[in-house]
Amino acid sequence: MAHQGKKLINDPNDVVTEFIEGLVETYPGLQYLDGFPGIKVVLRADVVGTTYDKVAVICGGGSGHEPAHAGFVGEGMLTAAILGDVFTSPHVDAILAGIRAVTGPMGCLLIVKNYTGDRLNFGLAAEQAKSEGYKIESVIVGDDCALPPRRGIAGRRGLAGTILVQKVAGASAAAGLSLTEVLDEAKHASEIIGTMGVALSVCTLPGQVTSDRLGPGKMELGLGIHGEPGAAVTDLQPVDLVVSHVLKQILSKETNYIPISRGNNVVLMVNGLGGTPPMELMIASGKAVLQLQLEHGLAVDRVYTGSFLTSLDMAGFSISLMKADTEILQRLDAPTKAPYWPVGVNGNRPPAKIPVPVPQSGSTRNEEVLIRPQELNEQGYVLEAAIEAGAKEIINLKDKLNEWDGKVGDGDCGSTMFRGATAILEDMKQSYPLNDAAETINEIGASVRRVMGGTSGILYSILFKAAYAKLKESTVITPRQWADALEAAVNAVSKYGGAVAGYRTMLDALIPASNTLKESLDAGQDPLTAFLLSSEAVVSGAEATKNMSAQAGRSSYVSADILSSAPDPGAMAVAGWYRAAALAVRDKLQN
């Protein structure tokens, strides 16, 4: 049964910005960057990157997990947190703004939860920052113990154990250690943590209808923090049995995810997922400590109970175990002013908070201002028709894409693609130089990068940037060069995203299109016929994903039975805009 979740919000599109505004008014040690809407960065108010004499520690990810990660910004923990939209990875420009704002000569460590979108966006930002002269290192945290070992290229998800890694890294940075030393301590911490979650309900996204697929009397083991299906759905059990199952899974010698054995010392974190009362969390903590001592022979040195990394209002909790030693405990006990680490809050709130301006790019090159030409040539008219048709088709497919993604992912593919398509239509009216195909492709990528975010946003940005680079090699663009550009774009997405044909991704639509286009041209087909044939191949490729097992992205955590109920939404989105563009080109050329 579907229902509209009740939320005390204004516009669902403004929830992250308004959250930040309230956060910095509440805690005087926090500040935020002020810039175009895509910049959502919370940072220490006392840090200026050019003069900061310690290693900066940055983490981030999609919003909806509060207090993570902005609530852990403060002396002794994070230097800055980069926030994406709800359950959507922050985009590259926001990450770069955060790096530039707080990174001094000692460098910066990026702590990244193991999700494809986070890895791609933080990775691209790290490379850009390095090219500007910053010293950057990264650590990937994947502490999930709920699912079987590594599936495809996705690996273990980053969960609440990430907060403990942040504390260790932040304390070592505050102690004045070098970037290499901070990285080593953070990597060590990430390798000795295991986490598993249990949920009684799925989360309710702002402004969206939620289906309670668990139903009454049911619970889900290993449910993802974005609502991804977990390991199993079972009948609701007493908390004693739930805690026992979770601890056995984390400490299992079959998976051997963390190096904890009988006689070791551990740190315990019981983390509420957003909709669990403190009473229930404390009950779980008490039972967990007892079971760890009596059943597993472990000494519990520290217990942290509360809501650290949530999933909006999901009912349930996760348990994290971390192997403890003297050095780890020193880092965890080190003082911090991060407001949501379990210590007291101090400091008077100033009467007003003035936003810090976004730091300028390290590049001295002035960006060229592009303007839509007053008169379009034949190529411009055809290109305009193709772009408009493709974007409008994505807008029409919004709800269907969300429906498919709700079955195999986190349910926002259509909404994410809708933002990109809407931005493309708006920007095309003003700034696309349609008589210059290469620059138009580049501008489409810029539109997408600005508004989409997440895995889809960065992959489409890579797709259009690679196509642009190939098209720029020639002054006159022929059908053969369009085919070469598509091939280069597909190869770039595969290179940086890690997926290949058969992984149940957007590439399973793009690769058949690219191959068919080149083969048809090689066989002597006229360009329009070749384009139309490739558009039929893109649709067939997308529909075939329904019979594929996922080996990349969040779908790789989903069972084969669920996957078979829907095609890959990313591939279907590609099929939608590609086919619509081909038909629009046909109609334009034949009229």
- In order, the DSSP letters of 185-254 are HHHHHHTTEEEEEEESS----TTSEEE-TT-TTEEEET--TTS---SEEEE---HHHHHHHHHHHHT-TT
Mean pLDDT of 206-227: 76
Q: Counting Cβ atoms within 10 Å, is residue 416 exposed (0-12), middle (13-18) or buried (19+)? A: buried
CA–CA gap between residue 60 and residue 74 (Å, rounded): 14
Residue tagged 């790290």 (tokens): 126
CA–CA gap between residue 380 and residue 393 (Å, rounded): 20
Question: Which is more confident, 406 or 560?
Answer: 406
Mean pLDDT of 123-137: 94
Q: Which of 1-15, 274-288, 356-370, 391-405 has the lowest mean pLDDT?
A: 356-370
Residue 368: pLDDT band (50, 70, 90) is low
Closest CA to 162 of 21, 38, 309, 268: 309
Residue 228: pLDDT band (50, 70, 90) is confident
Q: Tell me if 414 is assigned to a ligand binding site.
A: no
Confidence (pLDDT) at 100: 95
Q: Which helix (H) or strand (E) holds 583?
A: helix 569-590
91 is catalytic: no
Mean pLDDT of 429-435: 89
**What's the CA angle centered on 96, arms 95 and 98, to 5 degrees?**
65
Q: Which of 124-128, 329-333, 453-457 has the lowest mean pLDDT?
A: 453-457
User: Residue 344: pLDDT above 50?
Assistant: no
Q: Which helix (H) or strand (E) holds 43?
A: strand 41-44
User: Residue 195: pLDDT above 80?
Assistant: yes
Q: Tell me if 62 is assigned to a ligand binding site.
A: yes
Residue 168: pLDDT band (50, 70, 90) is very high
Confidence (pLDDT) at 361: 65
Question: Chain-centre distance of CA 315, in angstroms?
Answer: 22
Question: Which is more confident, 2 or 104?
Answer: 104
Residue 548: pLDDT band (50, 70, 90) is confident
CA–CA gap between residue 352 and residue 37 (Å, rounded): 21
User: Residue 95: pLDDT above 60?
Assistant: yes
Mean pLDDT of 182-188: 98
Percentage of residues in the chain having pLDDT higher than 90: 64
User: Residue 560: pLDDT above 80?
Assistant: no
pTM beyond 0.85: the answer is no
Residue 573: pLDDT band (50, 70, 90) is very high
Q: Tell me if 113 is assigned to a ligand binding site.
A: yes
Q: Which of 256-265, 472-481, 559-568 has the lowest mean pLDDT?
A: 559-568
Residue 347: pLDDT band (50, 70, 90) is very low
CA–CA gap between residue 336 and residue 44 (Å, rounded): 12
Ranges of beta strands (E only) in 284-333 are 299-306, 316-323
Q: Tell me if 46 is assigned to a ligand binding site.
A: no
Q: Which long-range contacts (CB under 8 A, 24 or more apart) does 11-14 make?
A: 12/206, 12/207, 12/208, 13/207
Question: Which is more confident, 12 or 72?
Answer: 72
108-113 and 56-63 as β-strands: parallel, antiparallel, unpaired? parallel
- 266, β-bridge pairs: 300, 323
| Burial 476-515, CB ≥16 within 10 A → b, else e | ebebebbbbbbbbbbebbbebbbbeeebbbbbbbbbbbbb
Confidence (pLDDT) at 12: 82
The answer to whether 520 and 483 have CB atoms below 8 angstroms apart is no
- 61, β-bridge pairs: 83
Confidence (pLDDT) at 365: 39
The answer to whether 186 and 169 have CB atoms below 8 angstroms apart is yes
Residue 346: pLDDT band (50, 70, 90) is very low
Confidence (pLDDT) at 38: 74
Q: Which of 88-102, 142-156, 349-363, 426-440 has the lowest mean pLDDT?
A: 349-363
Q: Tell me if 64 is assigned to a ligand binding site.
A: yes
CA–CA gap between residue 468 and residue 477 (Å, rounded): 11
Q: Is 498 left (phi over 0), alpha (psi -120 to 50) or beta?
A: left
Mean pLDDT of 377-398: 92
Among candidate residues 3, 69, 188, 226, the one labeled active-site is 226
Residue 75: pLDDT band (50, 70, 90) is very high
Q: Which of 215-224, 233-242, 264-273, 470-479 has the lowest mean pLDDT?
A: 215-224
Confidence (pLDDT) at 483: 95
Q: Which of 149-163, 175-189, 344-358, 568-582 has the lowest mean pLDDT?
A: 344-358
Mean pLDDT of 299-325: 93
- 269, β-bridge pairs: 304, 320
User: Residue 211: pLDDT above 90?
Assistant: no
Residue 519: pLDDT band (50, 70, 90) is very high
Residue 246: pLDDT band (50, 70, 90) is very high
